[in-house]
Structure 1
Amino acid sequence: MAGDNGIYPYKPNKNVAIGACALFGISALYHLFQMVRRRAWFYTSFVIGALMMTIGYGFRFVSAGTPDSLGLYIGQSLCIILPPSLYAATIYMIYGRLVIFVDSPEASLIRPTRVTKIFVCGDILAFLLQAGGGGQMANAKTADMGKNIMLFGLFVQLLFFGFFLIISLLFWKRMRSSPKMYSVPQYGKHHWTSLLKLMFAAAAIIILRCLFRVVEFSQGHDGYLVSHEVFMYIFDAAPMFSVQVMFHFVYAADVFGAGSLGKLGDSESNIDLNQRR
């Protein structure tokens, strides 16, 4: 797999990599600040994903200077590929809290307490598969097996995320025909529908990003998408940065209230809705 540009099929652009590192880093630090200040601990996986993206493009900048380094190549690859699974985990947790917040568990196809358990478990499986496959793809002897494992992990992620999108859209449809749609007061800066619409947009972007990665990896290491760096920034870096930025403007704590709904219990009754602002 090594060539004139080391492990890469092209000459990596160091300037773009350090620029992406800076943008993701600023966003990650702001997310970390928001999470701590508002005690929104269910954003932890999202913050970790944002920090991983920052580290990934930092690794990519260093790796571009030493393109023969297998360790740096694997590090940048995994830290860029894996974060969407962490974003998704937070989206699942927000959905469960949102259903409880509007006191409408009957409108959700799956009970909100089970949504988090089911989809986060699927997300963890997808995360581990992609991590394992990504590590093997950098080795010529195991590249094909790694590609297949990576593709399977992406398909698992798409399956769970696609099913989640259907569940959340069905919830929205049911709520639109329910009196509770207009009876839930706005306790924070944003109405709960703004947060739900944000989740729809983020889910659609992540699904499109996953589809890009499926096509990219299915073409192999010499494929057209893989051999042109620009596509990674257009169809992966830009969409994932957009997701991070979107969540700056409509923050769950601005809907639920700072510190409220921080932990989802075993039943809806365990959540004290009086903690809302």
Structure 2
Amino acid sequence: MALHGDSGNGIYPYKPNKAVTVAAAILFGISAVYHVYQMIRKRAWFYIAFVIGSLMMTIGYGFRYVSEGSPDSLGLYIAQSLCIILPPSLYAATIYMIYGRIVLFVDSPEASLIRPTLVTKIFVGGDVLAFLMQAAGGSQMAQVATASRGKNIMLFGLFVQLLFFGFFLAIAIVFWMRMRNSPKLHSIPQYGKHHWTKLLFLLLGAAPIIIVRCFFRVIEFSQGHDGYFVNHEAFMYIFDAAPMLVVQIMFHFVNAADVFGTSPGTLSNLADSESNIDLNQRC
């Protein structure tokens, strides 16, 4: 992300494809609206970060379309860039919280390398740090005077996100391997539409997709302003837009409320259990 005023396309190093931008905005928008509907109808409020991320993606491609009509506008360019780059951190935060609730739901904190209370604190905390660094770096990269510093901050934020998410994926895999050999695998009743293993598999499937996307962004920013990825718009849609849309759609099919049950207070009871475990640890 840097100024490319001599390219003939304003800040962009290529002529943006408006049709693809509109298609992306529509697809992300439809998905975002459905996520909002699911969250409200099922009262699964811990999906709020995921919902905000899906709305940011929609707004991001909306800003991108407007920015393509005014390619010299730095403000529009920064707005579209940040709204597209930041949402994966919000998806990751939701994945961390759902994992913690799964561990509590099956009453097997001993099967997790990190207790569910610490998963939420450590990984969501790291995710917030990565989010803030990417936001700070992205806002500076579009300006020539601070582009180099912004790139370094952005790369560090992406590395932090990769580090925490990769560690989380290892924890989730170990948890599944332990539960696979546990009698609790079949003794936990199915309260909702889906078995808890299906929700865990959703997390295990979504995590590598987000990790691949982060690797793409690391390579893209590492190449600098004249890098091959930066100068070819198709890569952004192939390795960023498409994977993130896939993740959003995946979460339409298995909702936590359809796993933990929809009886009054079920989801809040899981949160209370998490608080009680944390209190016991302190005592």
1:229 aligns with 2:229: no
Q: Secondary structure at the match of 1:7?
A: coil
Residue in 2 that maps onto 1:116:
120
* Contact persistence 2:199–2:256 (CA under 8 A): yes
* Contact persistence 1:100–1:268 (CA under 8 A): no
* Contact persistence 1:113–1:264 (CA under 8 A): no
1:89 aligns with 2:93: yes
1:7 aligns with 2:14: no
1:133 aligns with 2:142: no
Q: Which amino acid aligns with 2:242?
A: A
Deviation at 1:14, TM superposition (A): 1.0
1:206-217 aligned at under 5 Å gives the runs 206-217=210-221
Q: Secondary structure at the match of 1:264?
A: helix
Q: Deviation string for 1:70-127 (max 9, x for gaps)?
A: 0000000000000000000000000000000011111011110111111000000000
1:1-277 aligned at under 5 Å gives the runs 1=3, 2-3=5-6, 4-258=8-262, 260-262=266-268, 264-265=271-272, 266-268=275-277
Q: Secondary structure at the match of 2:66?
A: helix
TM-score, normalized by length of structure 1? 0.95
* Contact persistence 2:36–2:51 (CA under 8 A): yes
Distance in 2, matches of 1:80 and 1:54, equals 8
Q: Deviation string for 1:168-211 (max 9, x for gaps)?
A: 11100110111101111111111111110110110000000000
Distance in 2, matches of 1:268 and 1:33, equals 32
CA RMSD of aligned residues (A): 1.2
Deviation at 1:18, TM superposition (A): 1.0
Q: Deviation string for 1:221-252 (max 9, x for gaps)?
A: 11000100000000000000000000000111
Q: Deviation string for 1:47-80 (max 9, x for gaps)?
A: 0000000000000000001000000000000000
Distance in 1, matches of 2:229 and 2:133, equals 22
Distance in 1, matches of 2:212 and 2:84, equals 16
Deviation at 1:145, TM superposition (A): 0.6
Count of aligned residue pairs for this structure pair:
270
After TM superposition, the runs of 4+ consecutive aligned structure 1 residues lying more than 6 A away are: none
Q: Which amino acid aligns with 1:260?
A: T
Deviation at 1:269, TM superposition (A): 9.1
* Contact persistence 1:17–1:60 (CA under 8 A): yes
Residue in 2 that maps onto 1:275:
none
* Contact persistence 2:117–2:278 (CA under 8 A): no
Q: Deviation string for 1:17-67 (max 9, x for gaps)?
A: 111001000000000000000000010000000000000000000000100
TM-score, normalized by length of structure 2? 0.93
Q: Which amino acid aligns with 2:180?
A: R
Fraction of identical pairs, as percent: 74
* Contact persistence 1:162–1:207 (CA under 8 A): yes
Distance in 2, matches of 1:149 and 1:9, equals 22
Distance in 2, matches of 1:268 and 1:253, equals 22
